[in-house]
Structure 1
């Protein structure tokens, strides 16, 4: 049962991700750069070390991603107000626009898929997903 649930969740998440990433064709952004931008969007400003840890990649790789995104105006580096020695990476309005557009595309796709469900089924689905999400969070996932 667990194997089936994991497989279904992975497949669903992958298909939604792919649909949303169709938007990236409009921008000079790689999937790796998008992942970095998405981390900033949801977690807020981060240091290079924090970003590297979140993404599970080397700091040198993170630096390259940030540099290219900064050159395109999607992120910027700033000094922390309380400690000028620390450089943070911040998503710009242009970067936020890209993430918002991808999320909107994902939501549109999910809405289209949910047309196959009656209202009761949608409510049951949401309830079960919330229960699953809470259980995952409790276990540190």
Structure 2
């Protein structure tokens, strides 16, 4: 049972991710850069060290990703007010707009997929997904 649930969730997440990334064809952004942008979008500005840890990549790799995003105007580095030695990275409005487009594409895809579900099935799906998500929070 658990193996089937994991498999289904992995396949669903993969399909939604691929559909959303179709938007990236219009932008000079690699999947690794997009992952970094998503982290910033959902968690706010981060230091290079924090980004490296969150993404599980070397700090030098993170620096390269941020440099390319900054050159394209999707991200910016800024000094922290409380400690001028610390550099934080955040998305620019241009970067946020890309993520917004990806999220919209994902939502449209999910809407299309479930449009033939009756209202009861849609509500049951939401209830079960909320329950699953809440249960996962208990396990980290």
Which residue does the alignment assign to 2:78?
Answer: 78
Following the alignment from structure 1 to structure 2, what is the Cα–Cα distance between the partners of residues 123 and 51?
36
Following the alignment from structure 2 to structure 1, what is the Cα–Cα distance between the partners of residues 16 and 42?
18
Correspondences of 1:112-131 after superposition (within 5 Å): 112-131=112-131
Following the alignment from structure 1 to structure 2, what is the Cα–Cα distance between the partners of residues 117 and 34?
32
Which residue does the alignment assign to 1:93?
Answer: 93
Following the alignment from structure 2 to structure 1, what is the Cα–Cα distance between the partners of residues 82 and 114?
47
How many pairs does the alignment contain?
140
Following the alignment from structure 2 to structure 1, what is the Cα–Cα distance between the partners of residues 111 and 92?
28
TM-score (norm 1): 0.99
Following the alignment from structure 1 to structure 2, what is the Cα–Cα distance between the partners of residues 133 and 68?
34
Which residue does the alignment assign to 2:17?
Answer: 17
TM-score (norm 2): 0.99
Structure 2 residues without counterparts, runs of 5 or longer: none
Matched, 1:133 2:125: no
Shift of 1:138: 1.0
Structure 1 residues without counterparts, runs of 5 or longer: none
Following the alignment from structure 2 to structure 1, what is the Cα–Cα distance between the partners of residues 46 and 87?
9
- Secondary structure in structure 2 of the residue aligned to 1:29: coil
Give a deviation string over 1:116-135, Cα, whole Å, max 9, x none: 21000000000000000000
Matched, 1:43 2:46: no
How large is the Cα RMSD of the aligned pairs?
0.4
Following the alignment from structure 2 to structure 1, what is the Cα–Cα distance between the partners of residues 137 and 108?
26
